[in-house]
């Protein structure tokens, strides 16, 4: 049942503007983007997955460019059978001692995308989180067209979450919810690169 009401509507850093919208008690699956230079994109997506598990939703997390141990790898095992996590890629590109040719990173990203796309359209999942796919697109490991195809072809009932730096305007335009993480302060300024259980 649709209900018309006036709610606050905010875009980025602009002032709040009242807007009349129709509230839908049974909305279709959303496209959610967590982007920006600040910390918290993956963390936000994992928090969403945790909440969904509480409702016994089927959640798939596919990580691009992550091929090492992190707390979420072990953490989601405690949430079986509701959450499954798959890591793809060969690590971050051009940082943290990366010496792999870009071609290998692109091949790994493509392989991860193919797995992701197959799972998204399979109908097996209520929520799919494509962690760092936005970064893979913005760094040209994946073409933008594949990111847009994923959004276009997802089943209507599936919530699709995309994370990563520098979300292209074309992806933002297709999203229902976009949150930009802004770095105000960071422990790196004190020489702390990353902390176990907080950053990984």
Where do the structural domains in the chain lie, given as residue ranges? 27-190
CB 94 within 8 Å of CB 66: no
- For residues 93 and 183, the model is more confident at 183
List pLDDT tens digits, range 89-99.
766 665 555 56
* pLDDT at position 26: 72
Kindly tell me if the per-residue pLDDT of 52 is higher than 90: yes
List pLDDT tens digits, range 122-163.
999 999 999 999 999 999 999 999 999 999 999 999 999 999
Query: Would you say the C-alpha torsion 12, 15, 16, 22 has a positive or negative sign?
Result: negative
* pLDDT at position 101: 76
* pLDDT at position 90: 63
Instruction: Using the CB atoms, write b or e for 171-194: b if 16+ within 10 Å.
Output: beebbeebeebeeeeeeeeeeeee
The secondary structure of the chain, three-state, reads: CEEEEEEEECCCCCCCEEEEEEEECCCCCCEEEEEECCCCHHHHHHHHHHHHHHCCCCEEEEECCCCCCCHHHHHHHHHCCCEEEEECCCCCCCCCCCCCCHHHHHHHHHHHHHHHHHHHHHCCCCEEEEECHHHHHHCCCCCHHHHHHHHHHCCCCCEEEEECCCCCHHHHHHCCEEEEECCCCCHHHHCCCCCCCCCC
- Extract the tokens encoding 121: 């359209």
List pLDDT tens digits, range 111-120.
999 999 999 9
Rounded mean pLDDT of the chain? 86
pTM, rounded to two decimals: 0.85
* pLDDT at position 83: 97
Q: What fold is seen in the domain 27-190? A: Rossmann fold (3.40.50)
């Amino acid at each position: 049942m649709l209900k018309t009401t006036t709610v606050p509507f905010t875009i980025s850093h602009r002032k709040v503007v009242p807007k009349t919208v129709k509230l839908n008690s049974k909305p279709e699956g959303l496209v959610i983007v967590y982007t920006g230079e600040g910390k918290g994109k993956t963390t936000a997506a994992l928090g969403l997955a945790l909440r969904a598990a509480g409702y016994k939703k089927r959640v798939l997390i596919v990580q691009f460019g992550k091929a090492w141990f992190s707390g979420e790898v072990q953490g989601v095992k405690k949430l079986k059978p509701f959450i499954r996590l798959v890591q793809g890629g060969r690590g971050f590109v051009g940082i943290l001692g990366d010496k792999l040719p870009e071609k290998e990173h692109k091949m790994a990203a493509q392989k991860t995308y193919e797995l992701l796309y197959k799972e998204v359209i399979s109908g097996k999942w209520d929520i799919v989180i494509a962690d760092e796919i936005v970064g893979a697109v913005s760094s040209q490991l994946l073409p933008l067209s594949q990111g847009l195809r994923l959004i276009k072809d997802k089943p209507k009932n599936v919530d699709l979450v995309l994370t990563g730096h520098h979300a292209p305007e074309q992806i933002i335009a297709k999203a229902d919810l976009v949150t930009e993480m802004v770095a105000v302060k960071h422990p790196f300024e004190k020489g702390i690169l990353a902390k176990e259980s907080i950053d990984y």
